[in-house]
Structure 1
Amino acid sequence: MKNMSGLDGLFLHLETAATPMHVAALYVLEPPPGRVTDFAGDIERQLLPRLALSPFFRARLAALPLHFANPLWIDGGVPDFARHLQRIVLPPPGGFAELQACVAALHSTRLDRRRPLWELAIIDGLADGEVAIYLKVHHAAVDGISGLGLAASIFDAGPEPWPVPADWRSLIGEAERAGIGERLASTLRHTAAQSVKLLRHLPSGLRLLAGLAGRGGARPAAGMRQNLSFGPRTALNVPISAERDFAAVSLPLAGVRAIAERHAATLNDVVLALCSAAVRDYLVANGGVPRKSLIATMPVSLRAAGNTETTIQATLTLVRLATHLADPLRRLQAVRAAAGAAKTLTKSARSIIPTDFPSLGVPWLVGGLAALYGRSRLAGHVPPLANLAISNVPGPRQPLYLAGGRIRSCWPMSIVTHGLGLNITVFSYCDALDFGLTVARAAVPEVQSLATALQAAYAELAQLSVAPPAAAPPQRRGRRPATDTGPSRAAVAPAARGGTRRRSTTGGE
């Protein structure tokens, strides 16, 4: 039995029918050389024991009476694979468009809380004999970094599968039984410990808030204040339904690194600038580019190096994307400055940001507010705190395998919610950056055009020199400048492609 952290529990209580709170990954596997039949069957046979032997995939929720606090995790024994694992065959022609539509539909449905909070689909029928795996896990159980540990428990480091005992079922004990008394006692002990911890960090937290308000002239706070404002209202920021759509793009990691080095930026700065350019281009054709910059919310890991514990250890920060600037170099420089300010503040506050806290009454309060926010459609009437979510998760540089087949791409899928209808999550794998664009259809009805804009944004930055932009002619006093829309990058020939037919790290369909 294990207590659920306060932060993990929030993702349970924020969940509604329109806003499922799970994350996922889409893996595409190349068949082993010479393999011509039932590669999907081999994958399933390899997965069953690995999933069952992992404590994570056996863990299920044990609720408290009246749900007055977070549930606990208990071992549920061998999973009922008929409820967790399915086989799907794509309709012809089995291209990447069909795969994207399939996983978008799978991503629209909530997980069953009576069972371990994960589902897996093995998707056959792809061209060239490839097989895809869609793995969905509730965000209450995992974040981006801890997801890497899960991958290590089910995939191989080489083409040769690691051995699994023939009697693997006998190695798994009976499902754990935790009585009401045990659950209550564990919850009260956890609540007391977290209350003491919060009180201990309260003075440091108050000093940080005072710095944000401008008292004391704290330098990190002064830089961060540029990111602290509401974002403009756009077509992305509306009430949503459960319908999802998805697009995947892969860019060469070496090419993105070269851009970063050429402009004295970090890899993450360039990722943010690419997303900024793509969203700006999309808005040119969908409602117009606001005069005010869009703001992205971005998770920042709080983990110590090597920590892959399956719990959320991250916080959120805000970054201005400089979407109001048409010049790509000026935009990249502005994004670099905003991201640096956000990183500085997060670093200064790292020791006092809570990832766990008491949860007494939290399920009622947060669950009630989440339901009310959705029913009221308030997201369509108030300015958003952030316009979109962007996340960048570092992954393995060496290929992973399953059933002898090489995983050639891994695209992440994430969460959208009312008022935040676009999530761009990036996963670095081997020599590629795999971008997963998860959208609510109510907010982004044409996700593929956004993917195309992302490809064009990369081509534009790859061709960009380091020369400073030419100074704009002076404006006459008393005249308001026109909105800086600039040329659309949709006309730029893409230098990288998304899709399943990629055989190199820059390719795709």
Structure 2
Amino acid sequence: MRNMSGLEGTFLHLETPATPMHVAALYLLDPPTDRKADLASEIRRHLMPRLALSPFLRARLAPMPLQFANPVWIDGGVPDFSHHLRHIVLSKAAAFAELEACVSGLHSTLLDRRYPLWELTIIEGLASGEIGLYLKIHHAALDGVSGMALAGQLFDSTAEPAEVPDDWRERVGEVESPGLGDRLGAAFRHTATQCASLLRQLPGGLHLVAGMFKPEGKGKAAAMRQNLAFGPKTALNVPISGERGFAAVSLSLAGVKEIARRQDATLNDVVLTLCSGALRLYLQEHGGVPRKSLIATMPVSLRETGDTDTSIQATLTLVKLATHLADPLRRLHAVRAAADAAKALTAHARSVIPTDFPSLGVPWIVRALATLYGRSGLAKVIPPLANLAISNVPGPRQPLYLAGARVSACWPLSIVEHGLGLNITVFSYCDSLDFGLTVAHDAVPDVHGLARALTSAYAELEQLPRAASVGPETVKRPLRRRAAVRKPSADAQATAASTHALGAQDVLSP
């Protein structure tokens, strides 16, 4: 039995049919040259023991009476694979767009809380012969960094599959659910511990806030708070339904690094500027570009190096994307300054940012507020704190395999909310940057138009001349090592919205 943290519980209680709170990944597998007649069945056979032997994937919710506090995580035993492990065959010789549409539908449905909070779908039928693997997990269970660590348990590092014990069912064994008294005791003990922790952190938090907002604050404090403003109202910031859209874009890591090297920027500065440029191009055709800069909210990992625990250890920060600047070079420099400020603020506040807090009564309050906000249409009226979400998750730098099939790409899917109808998440993998564009259809009806805008923004930055000097608002950084250029595949050249490649770092990592 494990207590659910306050942050994990918040994701659980914010969920409504219009706003599912799961994250996901779409893996694309290249069949091995000696492909078996039924590769999907072979993949299923390799996955079942690995899924069952992962304590994380066996964990299910045990609720409190009347749901007065967060549930606890308990071991649910061997998963019911008839529920969790699914199989879809697309129409004959399906194009990649049909895979994207299939995944959009899968991402729209809620996870069943009677089971461990994950589903894995094997998708066949692509004309290319590739196989899709869509894995979704509730965000109450993990964050992006721990999700990539979980992928390391499911896939192999070589084409030769790792051995799994034949007696894996026996190793899981029978499990017993904790009684009501055990769950109540855990809830009250956890609440007492978190109350004491918050009281210890309160003076530091108040001191930080007071220092940030002093009228006479100058220098470092003023720089750190430059991102703290409301964003403009756009077509992205509306109430939403549960209908989702998804597009996959991949860019050369070597190409993005070369842009960063020429402009004395970091890879992460360029990723943010790519998103900014794509938004300008998209909004020019869908409602116009606001005179005020759009603002992105971004998760920042609070993990210590090497920590792969599956609990959520992250916070959110805000970054201005300088979308009001038409010149791409000026935009890049402005984004770099804003990212530096966000990074400095997070580092300054790291010791007082809580990821756990008391949960007595919280489920009732959060659920009521989430339902009221969705039904009231307030997202139409109030100015947004952020216009979209952007996340950049570090992934494996070596190829992954499953049942001998090589994983050629890994695109993330994430969460959108009322008033926040676009989420751009980037995974790094081998030598590419894989962008997953998850949208609410109400906010972004043309997700493939946005995908094309992203590739156009990349071409725009590629054409920039080397920066002659660095603006006064920016800081010199050491140059990064260059990576080998990966040649795009024929499929990637044919489909602008799905170019194969990967590789990235956490958006606001030092």
The answer to whether TM tops 0.5 is yes
- Cα distance in 2, alignment partners of residues 220 and 8 from structure 1: 32
Q: Where does residue 97 of structure 2 map in the other structure? A: 97
Q: Where does residue 427 of structure 2 map in the other structure? A: 427
Matched letter for residue 85 of structure 2: L
Does the 8 A contact of 1:414 with 1:438 survive in 2? yes
SS of residue in 2 equivalent to 1:249: strand
Q: Where does residue 229 of structure 2 map in the other structure? A: 229
Does the 8 A contact of 1:246 with 1:447 survive in 2? yes
* Unaligned segments of structure 1, at least 5 residues: 472-493
Distance 1:500 1:379, change over 3 A: closer
Does the 8 A contact of 1:455 with 1:496 survive in 2? no
Following superposition, the deviation at residue 290 of structure 1 comes to 0.5
Matched letter for residue 266 of structure 2: T
Following superposition, the deviation at residue 496 of structure 1 comes to 10
Q: Where does residue 32 of structure 1 map in the other structure? A: 32
1:387-426 superposed matches below 5 A: 387-426=387-426
Q: Where does residue 379 of structure 2 map in the other structure? A: 379
Does the 8 A contact of 1:211 with 1:218 survive in 2? no
Q: Where does residue 342 of structure 1 map in the other structure? A: 342
Does residue 200 of structure 2 align to residue 200 of structure 1? yes
- Cα distance in 1, alignment partners of residues 231 and 215 from structure 2: 25
SS of residue in 2 equivalent to 1:92: strand
Q: Where does residue 154 of structure 2 map in the other structure? A: 154
Deviations 1:204-239 (A, max 9, x none): 101110012126736443112221111000000000
TM-score (norm 2): 0.92
Deviations 1:154-184 (A, max 9, x none): 1001111111122211111223311110001
Aligned residues: 482
1:4-43 superposed matches below 5 A: 4-35=4-35, 37-43=37-43
Q: CA RMSD in A?
A: 1.8
SS of residue in 1 equivalent to 2:128: helix
Following superposition, the deviation at residue 467 of structure 1 comes to 4.2
- Cα distance in 2, alignment partners of residues 448 and 61 from structure 1: 37
Q: Where does residue 46 of structure 2 map in the other structure? A: 46
Distance 1:496 1:130, change over 3 A: closer
Q: Where does residue 308 of structure 2 map in the other structure? A: 308
Does residue 82 of structure 2 align to residue 87 of structure 1? no
1:319-330 superposed matches below 5 A: 319-330=319-330
Deviations 1:407-462 (A, max 9, x none): 01000000001000000000010000000000000000000000000001111101
Q: Where does residue 183 of structure 1 map in the other structure? A: 183
Matched letter for residue 314 of structure 2: A
Does the 8 A contact of 1:36 with 1:129 survive in 2? no
Q: Where does residue 164 of structure 2 map in the other structure? A: 164
Deviations 1:57-91 (A, max 9, x none): 10000000111111000000011111111100011
* Unaligned segments of structure 2, at least 5 residues: 472-491, 504-510
- Cα distance in 1, alignment partners of residues 71 and 175 from structure 2: 17
Matched letter for residue 298 of structure 1: M
Does the 8 A contact of 1:252 with 1:432 survive in 2? yes
Q: Where does residue 317 of structure 1 map in the other structure? A: 317
Q: Where does residue 487 of structure 1 map in the other structure? A: none
Matched letter for residue 458 of structure 2: Y
Does the 8 A contact of 1:28 with 1:500 survive in 2? no
Does residue 55 of structure 2 align to residue 58 of structure 1? no
- Cα distance in 1, alignment partners of residues 458 and 498 from structure 2: 19
Following superposition, the deviation at residue 495 of structure 1 comes to 8.8
- Cα distance in 1, alignment partners of residues 62 and 216 from structure 2: 47
Matched letter for residue 269 of structure 1: D
1:201-350 superposed matches below 5 A: 201-214=201-214, 217=217, 219-350=219-350
- Cα distance in 1, alignment partners of residues 231 and 188 from structure 2: 40
Does the 8 A contact of 2:283 with 2:289 survive in 1? yes
Does the 8 A contact of 1:96 with 1:499 survive in 2? no
Following superposition, the deviation at residue 497 of structure 1 comes to 5.9
- Cα distance in 2, alignment partners of residues 183 and 219 from structure 1: 50
- Cα distance in 2, alignment partners of residues 299 and 132 from structure 1: 27
Does the 8 A contact of 1:458 with 1:496 survive in 2? no
